[in-house]
Amino acid sequence: MPVSCWTPRPRKVQQVTTPLWIELDGVVNMRDVGGLPTTDGGQVATGRLLRSDNLQDLTEADIDDLVERVGVTDIVDLRSNVELQLEGPGPLRAHNLTHHHHSLFRDDVRAVTAEEALVLPWSKKDQAAADADPRLDDDYWASHYLGYLAHRPDSVSAALQVVSQSRGATIVHCAAGKDRTGTVVGLALSVAGVSDEHIVADYVATGERIERVVARLMARPAYGEVLAGQPMDHHRPKPQTMQRILSVLTEQYGGAAGWLSAQGWSEEDITALRDSLRG
């Protein structure tokens, strides 16, 4: 049976950097971002937005916990088409939840082979491409995150629309729950009015469990060979990476809300996303 520590209660301001981990048997990096303070004295609502590593190993008890107690209604899957093919549909597909697949990989806009498409941020092939081509940013990971915004704004925008319109809690996940998930969640929190400092703190919280995250992925068919031999420090989230993303959004768009406006969101749409996260 899972040992769950999640309870729908707000955190005090002095405890905002303590993640609301959701302890289940089938994931190691799931947490509720509720309780984070906003700059106007409010806070993000609990039971609205959860972030997670991949959901392939969830048990029936885990699923019952998420659906019945946490109130999950929507799943946003940011993995590539090829990841889905290699990993299979996952146990949540058999349940009455709404699934939304929004890949952040550029190659998923056209048909490609598995070898071409499965270029994960930590893969050797991706590192070779990084060495050969101009980067979007000097920070290796920030370059990836900015790439998601530049090459798949449709998917980032669609993922945030799900959060805005969900009738219950939304789980946003990818493989590790760090990079693609971190980008989407970072934008959502920024629109909700969370300070950059607290968005960065939420992002780096994955570092508390990065060894377990990598160990989980090593056992999965889509990731084991790609991860073999990678140093652990390569995967550990660093504050300057998320700081860089937030700075670029501010410099180029006036913030995350401005980026959404550039994607065609109306003021009413942006307000709806903000309100959905504020409860």
Q: What is the pLDDT of residues 136-169, one digit of tens each?
A: 556 788 888 999 999 999 999 999 999 999 999 9
**Taking 70 as the threshold, does the pLDDT of residue 98 lie above it?**
yes
Looking at residue 123, its pLDDT comes to 46
Least trusted range by pLDDT, from 36-50, 212-226, 239-253: 212-226
Looking at residue 230, its pLDDT comes to 82
**Taking 50 as the threshold, does the pLDDT of residue 124 lie above it?**
no
**Taking 90 as the threshold, does the pLDDT of residue 105 lie above it?**
no
Q: What is the pLDDT of residues 52-81, one digit of tens each?
A: 999 999 999 999 999 999 999 999 999 998
Closest CA to 35 of 55, 14, 52, 56: 14
**Taking 80 as the threshold, does the pLDDT of residue 119 lie above it?**
no
- Would you state the structure tokens that stand for residue 277, as one six-digit string? 């996260």
> Which position has the higher pLDDT, 139 or 238?
238
Dihedral, CA atoms, 179, 181, 187, 193, nearest 10 degrees? -110
Q: How far apart are CA 245 and CA 220, in angstroms?
A: 29
- Residue 131 near residue 143, CB atoms below 8 Å: no
pLDDT band at 112 (very low <50, low <70, confident <90, very high): very low
Q: What is the pLDDT of residues 2-58, one digit of tens each?
A: 434 444 444 333 344 589 999 999 999 999 999 999 999 999 999 999 999 999 999
Looking at residue 82, its pLDDT comes to 85
Collapsing DSSP to helix, strand or coil, 263 comes out as coil
pTM of the model: 0.86
- Superfamily per CATH, domain 13-278: Protein tyrosine phosphatase superfamily (3.90.190.10)
Instruction: Tell me what percent of the chain is helix, strand and coil, each rounded to the nearest 5.
Output: 50, 10, 40
Looking at residue 262, its pLDDT comes to 97
Average pLDDT, the chain: 86
Looking at residue 228, its pLDDT comes to 83
- Residue 202 near residue 19, CB atoms below 8 Å: yes
